[in-house]
Chains A and B, each alone.
Chain A
Amino acid sequence: MLPAMLPRQPVLDPAAAYPLITGLRDALDSGDWPACRALLDAAGPVERTELTTVGLAEPGLATFLRGVLDGDPGDGAAAVLLGRHLLGADGPVAAERLLVDAAARSPRDPAIWTTRLSTARELRLGRSEADRRYGRLAEIDPHHLPGQREYLRQLCPEPGGDWEPAHTFARTAAESAPPGSFGPVLIAEAHLEHRRAEHGRRASAGRRYLAADEVRAELYEAARRSVWHADFRHGHGWVRVTSTFAMVFALLDDRPAADSLLTALGDLGSAYPWDHLGDPGSVIVKYRRRAAGGGT
């Protein structure tokens, strides 16, 4: 890659990497529910859940989706899109009330259980209820990364958990994930969350935490089972996974590793987890320059 291209800001909008997002937004804008359903029904389970989580705060969306649900109360796709929207617009109670009914009508929809993990955390319904909800999700799809991320956040100390169960869950989920899949990124996310929460104020302490032998070894092993694996594919979600490992190696000061991942990303990027370090766009530019050998 030419050095002249490096200072360019990465594109953080997931729609840049996944054209389906634009397709879904367009179909919602034009009020074409059959097109939305066709798009969501054709997507894989993880892709479908990811599509329901991208920012959808357009005005009039709630009215449109309520209209769809009035016509067919059992439309789980409309319910989960509306639930996500309400979670942002009206808060977790409004979202959860809708999702209780949605889960009752579509008990095997992983997107609904993923969203109910978010509402359970925001409503502080307790660890055992989060366990139950994750259990329902895992019965349907044991490697449902968007739901695993929600559950991992629940296990962290902030909503009342602890680091040990969070890391244990990340390890277990990563070990059982198929080789070359996205699952092992949970190990990286757990350590990055740990670094941010406990050592976020001092860069040197954060670096020491990640560079500790056990943590470092775990992070490399996770990368080998995921982004560095021959079976790693650029399916829906690959940008965030690659971007997360890139930040891990940038913080570990393994410049070649960070550089190769950032190069693979090209102009693409994800706000998470770079937002731990400041404005994600400029932080990525800074680390990209450093990784490519442009000085410290």
Chain B
Amino acid sequence: MRRLEVDGIPAVLAPVTGPAHAGLVFRVGTADEPLARRGITRLVEHLVTDGLGATGRTSWTTGPEHTWFHVQGSPAETTEFLTGVCAALRNPPLDRLATVRDLVRGAQPERDPLPMWRHGARGFGVVSYPEWALPGLTEEHLREWIARWFTRDNAALWLAGDEVPEGLRLDLPAGARQSPPPAATTLAATPAWFAGGVGWDTVITRGPGAAVFANVLERRVHRELRDLTEHSRTEYVPRSDGTARILTVADPLPGRAEAALGGLVDVLAAVRAGQIDPDEVAAVVKLTCEGLRDSESRGARLPGQAFNLLAGREVQTLEEALAEVRAVTAAEVARVASEAYAAGLLMVPSGSTAEWAGYTAAPAMSEAVPPGRVHRGRRDRALRLISGDEGVGVTGHGVVAAVRWDSCAALLAWPDGGRRLIGEDAVTVRVEPTLYRGADRVVREIDARIPQRLRIEMPPRDRDHIPQPEPAPRDSGPRRYVTAAVCGVLALFFLSGGLWILVQSLAGAETDNPRGEELLALAGSLVFGALFARYCWATVRESDSRRG
């Protein structure tokens, strides 16, 4: 493996037995995207490859920390593609923006809920969210994004072949090497759990022991959950900051979700208890070494080495990598397992918990709402919307959600006035003017407080997607009965009064009472009686329909 430089970009080159290939990688990924720009890296990646008409086998990928453009083909095809990508980064085909945007929107990546619970709505957590920002991204946004991240100083190159392809020009503007994305956490205590499926992840110190542990875990999870799931997978994802994420997700068979959770809990408890079979570790070490040799011959270790260059790490030869892996013992794997368990985040099926297995519930709400003006819910006095100098929040029916003005990750704004604030800790505050009294004022405050760069304009909603006030389920029942009863009594009073006047006037036509006054009293009684009767009837009908 050779270290070299191409047009100021650090590169690794190694000969391969199979077809030649090459890749250009930038230190930018979804973990660098603010939530209000989520999707912008993927959009750039598709825009600059759009219409290149490359003849080699090409692909492009955006990961959490890296975005890369890969080509397999002849030296001429490699040059054509990578030089084309760089040229397009210098002069993006912005006239194609609308078309490419539709393409990108049509193929949204599968969402992984675990990062949001661990990291919140920032950094590595952003990947859990939909790409809400895509429709509103402008040419200006793209230019800024490219200028910051897609530069010569934030790139690395790998070449799997005998030499640098002739004529390869990587003409990129200068910039700055970007540091790894910060890995903030919202978990107050681990191991933690939340509801959303069956899975688990952890973040630990990266290294060969962690990689071997991930493989041991994969085999055990597969064995334990084989009969309970459609499939399960375990991934080891090293990060530039010296940590690694290990992720296990399972897709339970119908009716088997709780058993899949139980099996996963038991596997994790076993590895934590040091139940690591030395024979299994030896088998995994052997397989890993075989895999490393095979990767080396195909040039599949090169992308990792290019990532290392971007992280300021030295490249690692095959011999060094093999020696590291061979040195891993069952005791080392058991030590890693214990660290991994302690930092774990368990995803349980909806309706389940994991307190029973010793996991702490991950925070799903705010502790309190900052002080401010209170707007009560329409027809539901238990609901409260509170807006103050520090932030905005809602409470009621066991929910406490608040977003501070200075830690808002994104604001979703609908044309009908609906607003959704997402805090950096992933707590969401929904402000629906239809649900609270005088909430228009809060909407105006939100719009004034939240900077434009955090705002995402959402498409108009159908009428049935706009929440409508509903009476609180509690204590309104008895109140309705009282209303109905009072109206009923009044209706009877007025109607019987009217009847009495009618009878009197018919029976005693010869009395002195002037007819006009009688008629007036009769009409008044009938009108009031009818009104109360109608109101009483409406109230009764409403209670009936609600009970159904």
A residues within 8 Å of B by Cβ?
A: 73, 92-93, 96-97, 100-101, 103-105, 107, 119-120, 123, 125-129, 131-133
Contacts and interface: CB of A to CB of B under 8 A. Distances in A.
Nearest to B228: A132
Given A103-B269, A104-B269, A104-B275, A133 B356 contact: no
Given A100-B266, A101-B273, A107-B270, A129 B259 contact: yes
Interface in B253-270: 255-263, 265-266, 269-270
Given A100-B269, A105-B273, A125 B358 contact: no
Given A101-B273, A107-B270, A128 B255 contact: yes
Given A104-B269, A104-B273, A97 B358 contact: yes
B356 A125 contact: yes
16 contacts: A93-B356, A97-B357, A100-B265, A100-B269, A104-B269, A104-B272, A105-B273, A107-B270, A107-B275, A119-B356, A126-B258, A127-B258, A128-B256, A129-B258, A129-B261, A132-B228
B517 interface: no
Contacts of A100: 265-266, 269, 357-358
Given A104-B269, A125-B356, A132 B275 contact: no
Contacts of B260: 128
Contact of A125 (B228, B258, B270): B258
A219 B304 CA distance: 69
A96 B260 CA distance: 17
B470 interface: no
Interface of B: 228, 255-263, 265-266, 269-270, 272-273, 275, 352, 355-358
A129 to B, nearest CB: 4
A132 B263 CA distance: 8
B223 to A, nearest CB: 12
Contacts of B258: 125-129
Contacts, number: 58
A101 B272 CA distance: 9
Nearest to A96: B356
Please list the 6 inter-chain residue pairs (A to B) with the smallest Cβ-Cβ separation, ordered nearest first.
A126-B258, A128-B259, A104-B269, A104-B270, A132-B259, A129-B262
Contact of B257 (A105, A128, A131): A128
Contacts of A133: 262
Contacts of A96: 356-357
Given A92-B356, A93-B355, A104-B269, A125 B262 contact: yes
Given A92-B356, A100-B269, A126-B352, 7 more contacts: A100-B357, A101-B273, A104-B273, A125-B262, A126-B259, A127-B258, A133-B262
Contacts of B272: 104
A133 B355 CA distance: 18
A105 B275 contact: yes
Most chain B Cβ neighbours within 10 Å, of A73, A126, A128: A128
Nearest to B258: A126
Contacts of A92: 356
Contacts of B259: 126, 128-129, 131-132
Contact of A123 (B263, B266, B356): B356
Nearest to A126: B258
A105 B275 CA distance: 7
A128 B275 CA distance: 25
Contacts of B257: 128
Contacts of B262: 120, 125, 129, 132-133
A92 B357 CA distance: 11
